[in-house]
Amino acid sequence: MKLIKSLKDYFVGAYQEGKKIVWPNKKQVKTYTILVIAMSLGVAVFFAILDYVFNIGLGQLIK
């Protein structure tokens, strides 16, 4: 019975904590999604340029 009570207490607590969650509204979701995509593209471009520069530099060293 102790196991059942502890499981019940766990799920009751989890449910109560779940009710405290504040979900973002549509505008926030849209803003954050665009921000994440823009930052991801920016980082990808940065690393692509870095890769290109290193390839050229190493190519010159190997010659």
Q: Give the DSSP per-residue string, 25-59.
A: -HHHHHHHHHHHHHHHHHHHHHHHHHHHHHHHHHH
C-alpha Rg value of the chain to the nearest Å? 25
Each residue's pLDDT, cut to its tens digit, for the chain (63 residues) gives 788 889 999 999 999 999 999 999 999 999 999 999 999 999 999 999 999 999 999 988 887
| Predicted pLDDT at 62 | 86
| Reported pTM | 0.64
